Structure 1
């Protein structure tokens, strides 16, 4: 996990990413689709839908891979919808936000933003080449969910768990690189703002793996050697779009000898216990932040002596309000000085 533009944050980082990673030329849409289906996302002659896992066998001898796939119900999905600045060259054919999709799910997704959807509000569930209206009784994480809306502004799509991070990093890539073309269609950023926070959550819970890194590098070979930087550096989204969140530290992150050991359980429902240790007596507290970097709760330790300690959080704000599911950050402070920060996941 390399560090790109270390020390930069916010607008300066976004501008630097745009300058370095924008590919103004690419294969064009038809060739991009053929390349995607025959080389980038085809593994062992198998092409799989990003959303529901439906797969087809790809004939390696076909002269028109996209036509072959489309005849078998897989077409090309623009994770960043075409109506929001991705309908023309080079944005339309930028493979960093293109994925194979089962055509029924692609159509159902429409132009909806990606979001977390409470199960009770999901109207249809999709997996492989089937769909249903009732909540699945098993393997629920394998499904893509749609909450249909009357417009592209109030519908929602929540994809299957295994690919959430991939989609999130594609979305942050497009907004960063092609921001101007998007804003021409949505000057107030309403569409993007409706999914931005959930995309950061998806990025955190589903980090890039080697397969995703290999994919972006293969695409880069065909797009001016420009990979998706958000795949290569997991800190970029936080530094570029949530610069006030603070820096995460692992179990060994030290400040004045204090250590933040984690929380149990994680993910959690209802409550979790945060573990830490102190090298000596001191005033310790744990501050909880939401994904926007806003303080939610401040937990004062009842005992701050030397050694391992714990403090519980009941998933409520300092004012007693229950907090919604999502990513939260907790920071250990000793004598008012930040010692370490880690993240946790509150689930429904």
Structure 2
């Protein structure tokens, strides 16, 4: 279990206002907000026959044709032209229902709604099963999962890159997926509450406060933002609103917990955002990492790299870039394994905008 120090927490809060943001029902809260979210964002149709192929082959497929387990970083290669579902399953990858089937996602739109579906190692998916999410004390964990490995002892290094489980009790995903889990769970319960409550009315509430902590500690990055709109294209053009607006949880499921984000004011990403994409490959990486940037408008580009304490450990002054696609190369010479954050800063005529992207180094 990762213990967030105050310094790390303030680092995340500071960078929360740099994330993408699209206001959703501003000024509304409580049941009124939840009712409106369900009315506006519940898709009228989703894929049914091709959900797995779409998740593996389009939503989570990397540009190098790799597919990664969200809980462990375990990566497989998808041969172009071959069935992605067959390839993934033969390589020990299947589909994780973040909100478990037994807890309400076993039928109807909920079963195939891709906003809560992720690729996972088969055995890790099985270990999670129907367990609620939660923080696991390291000394109490029955199993730890990383890449293609499973172990019962506490890892000696790179502990944040492991998922862990207490059998028959709770499951804790690796640190870089906790916010994604929270926003998927919030989405499902907001959209399919009646179905979830019929299965087990206590399931969501038992983990609600933990999910709130994870949402604010691990804000949306550019990849999660891009994926929610990619999924929307296959689901009635409905993105996950909890990805769009970081204030939704504090106005709905997380009221009274003293948690909040500080989104940028007067910010319309469709009008002001000077870039269309910002990705890192490979991620996790080792010595050489490519930073892929697609510019929409002319801007002065700077990249800053921060470690988990919020300390700036590297910087790249890229210079002015005009609309187009760019590949930047970063070589790691000194930094140890762990979790880092690239901050992309774009200077435009209307001011400076920035966003962050998580990077994992594995040696």
TM-score w.r.t. the length of structure 1 is: 0.68
2:53 to 26, 29, 34: 34
Residue 209 of structure 2 corresponds to residue 197 of structure 1: yes
Aligned to 1:181: 195
Aligned to 1:85: 104
Contact map agreement 2:72 2:174 (CA 8 A) in 1:
yes
Rounded Cα–Cα distance in structure 2 between residues aligned with 1:214 and 1:232 = 10
Residue 58 of structure 2 corresponds to residue 58 of structure 1: no
Rounded Cα–Cα distance in structure 2 between residues aligned with 1:2 and 1:244 = 23
Paired residues for 1:1-348 under 5 Å: 1-28=21-48, 30-44=49-63, 45-62=65-82, 64-149=83-168, 155-186=169-200, 189-245=201-257, 248=260
Aligned to 2:355: none
Point out which structure has higher relative CO (alpha carbons under 8 A, 6+ apart).
2
Contact map agreement 2:247 2:260 (CA 8 A) in 1:
no
Q: Where in structure 1 are there 5+ consecutive unaligned residues?
A: 150-154, 254-265, 268-348
1:243 to partner: Cα distance: 3.2
Contact map agreement 1:38 1:60 (CA 8 A) in 2:
no
Per the alignment, in what secondary structure is the counterpart of residue 92 of structure 1? Answer: helix
Rounded Cα–Cα distance in structure 2 between residues aligned with 1:32 and 1:182 = 21
Number of aligned residues: 246
**Which one has a bigger Cα radius of gyration?**
1
Per the alignment, in what secondary structure is the counterpart of residue 67 of structure 2? Answer: strand
Rounded Cα–Cα distance in structure 2 between residues aligned with 1:244 and 1:53 = 35
1:68 to partner: Cα distance: 1.6
Rounded Cα–Cα distance in structure 2 between residues aligned with 1:231 and 1:162 = 15
TM-score w.r.t. the length of structure 2 is: 0.65
Superposition misfits of 4+ residues, deviation over 4 angstroms: 245-250
Contact map agreement 1:10 1:242 (CA 8 A) in 2:
no
Per the alignment, in what secondary structure is the counterpart of residue 112 of structure 2? Answer: coil
Rounded Cα–Cα distance in structure 2 between residues aligned with 1:33 and 1:105 = 18
Rounded Cα–Cα distance in structure 2 between residues aligned with 1:11 and 1:101 = 33
